[in-house]
Amino acid sequence: MSVLLVADHDLGQLSPATARIVHAAAQLGPIDLLVIGENGDKIAEQAAKLAGVHKVLLAQELSFTDSDLALLETLAQRYQYVIQSAGSVGRDRIPALAARLDLMPVTDVIEILGPNRFVRPIYAGNALQTITDPQAKHILTIRASAFPAAKSDNTAPIETLGDTTASVARLIATHRTEGDTPDLATAQIVVGGGIALGSAENFQLVEKLAKKLGAAIGATRAAVDAGYAPNDWQVGQTGKIIAPDLYIAIGISGALQHLAGIQGAKRIVAINNDPEAPLVKLADAALIGDLFEIVPQLIDELDKAGVSR
């Protein structure tokens, strides 16, 4: 059995999610890891170090969906599995590839039970579905937060692909949200804020606590829609799925869509003035009271303890 795994990367760096997907996909067979994009040499070198990678394929000239899909459609004929993470790019690319190949994709896999048996969440994470895929070829997206990262102790060979299809698209501009916080989807600690913070200025309390703990920053959809936080901080069914060791939820009541995004969290601490809020009842620990009093006190106590990242 052979696996073609498409790497996620950004700004010349391999995404932390890719190491987790490699660890998961290694259960299915030898992995050829495909790096798509311009100036991908450094990314390919990082990818070659991941344990479980048999070979790295580098497609230097591709960076747009139309040319990506043409290449993947050709390469897919040689593999039993084509896989990418269930992030924003994979959610867009893999179903489109499956349509080209006339196959049914299995998306958002959180457990691999066998060569053609996979577990995925349904009903906003309230139930798990075991799927037996009878197709000869399997097109998958895998949830990175559900798996540990592969080790970086490998020296896989790198092969540069030639004769790639040129794209008719051209990049006009890139608009980015800059930040120095950990990757939200793979962070060990996440501090999240909700609509109860009241404004973008007040949301800086969340950012300050996250910086103190070396944590990633999350937000509910309501907080994002209100303009308190950028879209890439959104956690939930329509945002990012997280599985940190610790999730600190500030002013978050716990809408079903948000709970679907944090079910993998090992420990949850809720800061809320409503003891009956769904997330408070779900939390391992709760601080009931005014968040504008509790969070500054918590930051002060961390300062006194010498906690700083």
153 and 76 both lie in a single domain:
yes
CATH code of the domain containing 226: 3.40.50.1220
Mean predicted confidence (pLDDT) in 52-70? 80
Chain-wide mean pLDDT for the chain?
90
Q: Which residue has the tokens 């995404």?
A: 15
Q: How many residues does the chain have?
A: 309
Whole-number pLDDT of residue 168: 64
Count of structural domains, the chain = 2
Strand partners, 83: 5, 140
pLDDT at 167 over 70: no
3-state helix, strand, coil in the chain (%, to 5): 30, 25, 45
Of the listed ranges 53-67, 185-199, 294-308, the least confidently predicted one is: 53-67
Domain that holds residue 113: 3-160
Instruction: Quote the pLDDT of residue 165.
Output: 59
Read off the pLDDT of residues 221-243 as tens digits, 9 standing for 90 and up: 999 999 999 998 999 988 888 98
Claim to verify: residue 246 and residue 136 sit in the same structural domain: no
Note whether 61 and 11 are same-domain residues.
yes
Collapsing DSSP to helix, strand or coil, 71 comes out as helix
Strand partners, 140: 83, 106
Region of 98 please: left (phi>0), alpha (psi -120 to 50) or beta: alpha
Residue-wise pLDDT tens digits, 105-153: 999 999 999 999 999 998 877 889 999 999 999 999 999 988 999 999 9
Task: Give the integer Cα–Cα distance in Å for 252 and 269.
Answer: 11
Domain harbouring 24, CATH code? 3.40.50.620
**Where does the pLDDT of residue 307 fall: very low under 50, low under 70, confident under 90, or very high at 90 and above?**
confident
The amino acid sitting at 288 is I
Assign 163 a pLDDT band (cuts: 50, 70, 90): low
